[in-house]
Amino acid sequence: MTQSETEKRLAFAVKIAREAGQFTLAHFRVPGLAVERKGDGSPVTVADKGAELLLRERIAAQFPQDGILGEEFGEKAGSSGFCWILDPIDGTKSFVAGVPLYTTLVAVMQENEPCLGVIFAPAVDEMVYARVGGGAWHVVAAESPRKAQVSQIENLGEAVFLTTCVHSFTVDREPPRPEVFTRLAAACRVTRTWGDAFGYLLVATGRAEIMIDAVMNLWDAAALKPIIAEAGGKFFDWQGTSTVHSGESVATNALLAEQVQGIILGK
């Protein structure tokens, strides 16, 4: 990959993530918002669909040869070697409930690996973004970007542990999931479900030490890996592999990664 190409796409990703996130705010906490159910039972709204269409239109106009994969409207093949991965509202359940901790996720992949990612939480006006080799950056409201950095806590007993949904730990996969949640919660100082991508934003900016999900899609995970890595943290699956393709994820600061992996594997 050439740095100039990823830099151009990162600047554009930041711009359109903010634009799509602002679009969702027009529907946030609006009485009578219609909620549909997809085939997997997950909710979707006009805000999800409209934000993804906005993102797709902007990308197609600026980078017509790039591929696009989004949660709501599937995949469009490209020829450039770059593919945009979109989740217009990560945390639709929170969005529908009027909870402001939902996000808009935009990532770009090359050779099946993410090279940049953006997490934007429009309702709290907070963003973190990164490209591989370019560092991670944190923006709050109209402030200038600041370097995003994971915490330096090295004692699990002082760590903040986050997850999206405790019930997701009941999925039938190895290692046994309910035991993982119980062991981590017992080892850490605080356990909270400030989840979805907002939890990874908190890890990347040093306000939490561990974020773990038992169930993930590519559009949930692609933006997270470059952000956590460039903020100095570790992003890996439950077997310890640094990947966005396993359907699960763990993000930690670097000092706790080995301890967390040991708890997950029951060591």
pLDDT tens for 139-171 read 999 999 999 999 999 999 999 999 999 988 887
pLDDT of residue 2: 52
> In terms of domains, do 135 and 168 share one?
no
> In terms of domains, do 180 and 257 share one?
yes
Is residue 173 predicted with pLDDT exceeding 80?
Answer: no
> In terms of domains, do 69 and 161 share one?
no
> In terms of domains, do 137 and 178 share one?
no
Is residue 217 predicted with pLDDT exceeding 60?
Answer: yes
Residue 190, domain extent: 156-264
Last residue of a domain, one of 116, 147, 178: 147
> In terms of domains, do 173 and 250 share one?
yes
Could you tell me if 162 and 211 are in contact, meaning their C-beta atoms sit under 8 angstroms apart?
yes
pLDDT in tens, 8-30: 999 999 999 999 999 999 999 99
C-alpha 129/C-alpha 197 separation (Å) is 12
User: What is the CATH classification number for the domain harbouring 170?
Assistant: 3.40.190.80
> In terms of domains, do 139 and 171 share one?
no
pLDDT of residue 40: 83
Q: Please give the tally of structural domains in the chain.
A: 2
> Looking at the DSSP assignment, which residues form a beta bridge with residue 131?
116
C-alpha 260/C-alpha 266 separation (Å) is 10
Task: Indicate the residue type of 90.
Answer: D
> In terms of domains, do 138 and 171 share one?
no
Last residue of a domain, one of 114, 147, 180: 147
Q: Hey, what are 173's tokens?
A: 């996969």
Three-state DSSP state, 219 = helix
C-alpha 111/C-alpha 198 separation (Å) is 27
Residue 118, C-beta contacts closer than 8 angstroms, at least 6 positions apart: 10, 13, 14, 17, 104, 105, 106, 107, 127, 128, 129, 223
> In terms of domains, do 87 and 11 share one?
yes
> In terms of domains, do 128 and 171 share one?
no
User: What is the CATH classification number for the domain harbouring 110?
Assistant: 3.30.540.10
The average pLDDT across 248-263 equals: 96
> In terms of domains, do 29 and 129 share one?
yes
Opening angle at CA 131, ends 129 and 134, nearest 5: 105
> In terms of domains, do 133 and 100 share one?
yes
pLDDT of residue 267: 76
Last residue of a domain, one of 128, 147, 166: 147
> In terms of domains, do 167 and 93 share one?
no
Is residue 123 predicted with pLDDT exceeding 70?
Answer: yes
Residue written as token pair 């903020």: 231
Task: Indicate the residue type of 212.
Answer: I
Residue 1: which pLDDT band, with cuts at 50, 70 and 90? very low
Radius of gyration of the chain (CA): 17
Q: What is the mean pLDDT of the chain?
A: 95
